[in-house]
Amino acid sequence: MRYGVVGFSGRMGREVIEVFSERGHELVLKVDLEQEQYLGKPDVIVDFSNPSALKRTVKLCEENSAGLVIGTTGLNEKDLEIIKDLSKKVPVVQSFNFSIGIQIMLRIVSEISRILEDWDVEIVEIHHRFKKDAPSGTALLLKKALNKDVPIHSLRIGGVPGDHTVNFANLGEILSISHRAISRRTFALGALKAAEFILRKEPGFYEFPKIVFGGV
Ligand code: NAD
């Protein structure tokens, strides 16, 4: 695969390049805030950057007929609409979390929320001090899976790649479901799975959970 990376010099961009190179994929486009290096036409563009890069990423996908795998968080509804529109022209995977464990957690908390209807529910998420958005995209995914308007508590401390806990409580007990990313590599591996999946696929919006669990 010939691929491009938007945000190539960032924490996630560097992980993506390492994981994709190990699989023998060829890096042909590097974009970040300061620079753009074009060495050839990419089949897929991977974006882990910032919402401010979205317009440029979409243009690059259109110009190169390249698929898009986007993990950038902090996107608003309008941004998500722009990504959906792009998926009419090229294959797209957008997810606020590319780890497998979180995809399992989303299913579990959705089921618990359905069963424990009248329990208190609150989400706690912890990320490194450099993270720009709060709450995290993953916390918003968890809230959606719970199908309830629940409080989210965001901590920005140290170098934490990403911890998420959903706490369910009544007067006598607490049930906590937690996920901890211990390396950013896990997100890059998920992005690799998504990129290899959409290679030579028809235009469309492909859901990451379906790529992981099947059913596309
Ligand atoms: P970072 O700050 O280390 O890197 C950001 C990169 O984006 C830099 O290379 C920067 O130059 C570039 N960038 C910023 N604005 C840009 C613009 N307007 N145009 C082009 N490039 C631009 O951040 P990070 O920790 O690598 O995280 C990047 C994004 O990925 C964040 O939104 C983060 O929340 C998200 N993320 C998603 C997942 C997931 O699984 N979906 C996992 C981890 C991080």
CB–CB of 119/150 below 8 Å? Answer: no
Burial 114-140 (b: 16+ CB within 10 A, else e): eeeeebebebbbbbeeebebebbbbbb
Ligand 1 in reach of 98 Cβ (< 6 A): yes
Number of independent structural domains in the chain: 2
Q: Are residues 84 and 107 in the same domain?
A: no
CATH, residue 129: 3.30.360.10
CATH, residue 23: 3.40.50.720
Q: Which of these is catalytic: 78, 88, 89, 127?
A: 127
Q: Are residues 135 and 174 in the same domain?
A: yes
Taking the centre of ligand 1 as the mean of its atom positions, its distance from the CA of residue 10, in whole angstroms, is 6
Q: Are residues 72 and 117 in the same domain?
A: no
CA 127 remoteness from chain centre: 15
- pLDDT tens for each residue of 78-111: 999 999 999 999 999 999 999 999 999 999 999 9
Closest CA to 198 of 46, 4, 60, 68: 68
Q: Are residues 94 and 18 in the same domain?
A: yes
Instruction: Please state the φ and ψ torsions of residue 17, each to the nearest 5 degrees.
Output: -60, -40
Ligand 1 in reach of 135 Cβ (< 6 A): no
Is 164 annotated in the active site?
no
- pTM of the entire predicted model: 0.95
- pLDDT tens for each residue of 172-214: 999 999 999 999 999 999 999 999 999 989 999 999 999 999 8
